Chains A and B, each alone.
Chain A
Amino acid sequence: MRPAAVVKNLGALALAGLFLFPVYWMFSSAFKPSGEILAKDPVFFFTPTLENFTKATGVEFFWTYVGNSLLVTVGAVLLALLVALAASFAIARMRFAGRKGLVLGVMMAQMAPWEVMVIAMYMIARDAEMLNSLGLLTAIYFVMVLPFTIWTLRGFIAAVPVTLEEAAQIDGCTRGQAFRKVIFPLLAPGLMSTSLFGFITAWNEFAMVLILNKDKAAQTLPLWLTQFQTAFGNDWGATMAASSLFAVPVLVIFVFLQRKAVGGMTAGAVKG
């Protein structure tokens, strides 16, 4: 290899290490025995133990948090896909009065600063007696990911040539059938990437659930993660075990879908 290539590859390796280190440190600390977690000099070699995981998952309501998180996340994403599919089809394929205003509205909504609206949201929920409601939380997450979902699917639908749809209609399909049989299968990468990002947004959400759902039975995993950090000190082993468990679903989905999703994005963008 030429010297320039060596520098390039070493640089890339160093960068990869830098980006991976926090992820590695989270997983490795999660398996560390408590004695070694609290060593003055970090321990890099140790006999792995599951004690931190036992502690993290042994807290009261653990399975409730898991269930709640799955429920609100999956619920919000599915609802958003359904509603966005209809809306983005109309925006991409039809002309109607107010269409431009709607597109602008969707763009603006994508920038909504949800976290600064928590107090108003709290008051609305309180007056409607919907505090500690998983339904409301699902609905909020659904609207959080909706603009992005509409925006992205609109791009994917627009990238499907209209002639394909027309050909199907000439062959005797109704408009609905043409959509189901021609467009829908071509939207798979779009549906995947939008649900991926919707999943991450809802899975991560912290401020709303912190304010709206004080009742532990209605809380989600992000709040569980912060439970091991108290005024009396931090249980870092349990925190890292909890963080690892929390990150695993996202990491797995991401690694599996990322290539397809990114490939889809690029294809969609290039087709113009």
Chain B
Amino acid sequence: MTVHSQGAATAPQDAPREPGGPKAPQPPQRPAGAPEAAPAPRGRRGALPSGWLPYLLVAPAVLSMAALLLYPLAKNVILSFQKVDKIEFIQRRAPFHGVENYTQLLGDAQFWTVVLRSFLFTAANVALIMVVGSLIGLLLNRLGTWMRLVLSMALVMAWAMPIVASVTVFQWLFDEQFGVMNWLMRTLGFSGYEQHNWFETGLSTLVIVTVLVVWGSVPFVALNMYAGLTTVGGELYEAARMDGANGWQTFWQVVFPNLKPFFLVTTFLEVIWVFKAFTQVYAMNRGGPDRASETLPVFAFVEGQSQGHYALAAAISVLTIVMLVVVMSFYFRLILKQEEEQ
């Protein structure tokens, strides 16, 4: 889910249980003599002679994903090898263009700036989301019933705010003339905030987008972390305390190993969501000023829609997808490794 969008919230708790299995052509190597692992015990036990029935059941899902996801994806890849600017677009022509779009992009300093910006933006956001989210999750676990209810309701409200609505609120909070932020800075005694334009540079725009993204994504991590913590048995904490562990040691030696799948999947999901976040970045300042806050999805969108370089935009999106797949394969390997360790 686009983020926070947006959110595929149950997936993280669920995902670790299908650990990389489907990706692995061979099951993880086991030491000789070890009992053979059953890759998907729950499913297998329920296995029935099935015949054509499963195919009938999955057909609507497969067909609709093929028609509305795979086909546009393929069309997108083909388009990236064509020459389609405004003229061709109107004339509905699409001459073959070879790898021209790609060579143009890869030799363009602006493209690499955007790539670097996207990665830094993603890294900063995900790091903040995970650290702040985990800390609040730990706090939730130690609060009394009432305080926990208050804090989790506040988190739920922030989580549930529709992205487009929260973007408009943040624009208003950081408004040049009438924003609360400038008022707060003035009230706290900082000078220069009479008419401070928070959207003056690409960096400051992205900082505000970061505040928005972190604000909107932390609740997901915090509430799931809390749910995960409740599954860690109290006796483990007790044992750690008896051994004289301090808070930090308890976290690394008790909480973290127990919640490793949670951290792995949540971090991965957040990387995906932040990396492909579009609405937050685009609606905040249209990628401006002077295209200085564009991340890859916004760059592709602006190149295509505003500049009319449709095929070039397709090439950008293909490269974006390739980068996502690279991140994804890294994740699958991590999950697979973890599975082997167990």
Interface residues of A (CB under 8 A from B): 8-9, 11-13, 15-17, 19-20, 22-23, 25-26, 29, 37-42, 83-84, 86-87, 89-96, 99-105, 107-121, 123-124, 127, 139-140, 142-143, 146-148, 150-152, 155, 158-159, 162, 165, 190, 193-194, 197, 200-201, 203-204, 206-207, 211, 222, 225-226, 229, 234, 236, 239-240, 242-244, 246-247, 250-251, 254-255, 258, 261-262, 265-266, 268-270, 272
Contacts and interface: CB of A to CB of B under 8 A. Distances in A.
14 contacts: A12-B148, A13-B151, A19-B154, A23-B158, A40-B178, A94-B47, A95-B44, A120-B72, A143-B64, A150-B61, A204-B5, A206-B163, A250-B160, A254-B156
A272 B313 contact: no
Given A15-B151, A200-B5, A255 B178 contact: no
Given A95-B43, A116-B76, 12 more contacts: A39-B178, A86-B58, A90-B53, A93-B43, A95-B50, A197-B1, A200-B162, A242-B168, A246-B162, A268-B13, A269-B14, A272-B17
A103 B175 CA distance: 46
Contacts of A261: 10
Counting chain B CB atoms within 10 Å of each CB, which of A20, A115, A147, A262 scores highest? A115
Contact of B79 (A19, A120, A229, A242): A120
A105 B144 CA distance: 43
B241 interface: no
Interface in B123-168: 136, 139, 142-144, 147-148, 150-151, 153-166, 168
B317 interface: yes
Contacts of B163: 204, 206
A152 B11 contact: yes
B105 interface: no
Contacts of B178: 37-40, 42, 236
Counting chain B CB atoms within 10 Å of each CB, which of A121, A139, A151, A265 scores highest? A265
B252 interface: no
B72 A121 contact: yes
B279 A206 contact: yes
Nearest to B280: A206
Contact of B7 (A17, A19, A103, A197): A197
Contact of A115 (B169, B175, B276): B276
Interface in B22-46: 22-23, 42-46
B173 A105 contact: no
Nearest to B63: A83
B76 A19 contact: no
Contact of B10 (A40, A112, A193): A193
B173 A90 contact: no
B305 A201 contact: no
Contacts of A243: 162, 164-165, 168-169
10 smallest CB-CB distances across A and B, nearest first, come from A116-B317, A269-B13, A254-B160, A120-B76, A243-B165, A115-B278, A16-B154, A87-B61, A90-B57, A162-B46
A261 B9 CA distance: 10
Interface stretch (B96-104, B107-115, B198-206, B320-328): B320-328
Given A12-B139, A86-B60, A146-B65, A119 B304 contact: yes
B245 interface: no
A124 B68 CA distance: 10
Contacts of A102: 58, 62
B22 A103 contact: yes
Contact of B8 (A26, A110, A120, A165): A110
B75 A266 contact: no
B162 A105 contact: no
Nearest to B74: A120
B189 to A, nearest CB: 14
B240 interface: no
B314 A247 contact: no
B198 to A, nearest CB: 14
A123 B168 contact: no
B115 to A, nearest CB: 14
Nearest to B79: A120
A222 B164 contact: yes
B159 to A, nearest CB: 7
A232 B42 CA distance: 60
Contact of A201 (B2, B17, B231): B2
A155 B17 contact: yes
Counting chain A CB atoms within 10 Å of each CB, which of B14, B143, B231 scores highest? B14
Contact of B324 (A113, A123, A206): A113
Given A86-B58, A236-B178, A13 B150 contact: yes
Contacts of A117: 72-73, 76, 317
